Amino acid sequence: MARERTSSRPPRRRGMGRRKVCRFCADKTMVIDYKDARTLGTFLSERGKIIPARITGTCSRHQRRLTVAVKQARTVALLPYTTAYP
């Protein structure tokens, strides 16, 4: 799902290169919900860290909401804080 990333990393983003779009702005039906671990998971790194908006292209408004949702999901163990535990 979180494809965007790999394909759109031009060495210099001047002039050309595909502009990343916020997935939540592009698809209005998509809601940020802490209960939806599937979707939120696509915005986490393998280590369970939140991927910066700079990489996913999420707009700042949605990134803020996303961050809150991820943290809420973590408190109820739907998402990991980290994978580095024994």
Among 22, 53, 66, 79, binds other proteins (CB under 8 A): 79
Interface map 33-52 toward other proteins (x if CB under 8 A): xxxxxxxxxx-x-x-x----
Q: Which residues of 66-84 are buried (b: 16+ CB within 10 A; e: fewer)?
A: beebbeebbeeebbbeeee
Pick between residue 8 and residue 80 the one whose CB is nearest to other proteins: 80
- Token pair, residue 32, equals 């940020």
Establish if 4 lies at the interface with other proteins (CB under 8 A): no
Task: Tell me, by CB under 8 A, how many residues bind other proteins.
Answer: 26
Contact 8, 18 (CB under 8 A): yes
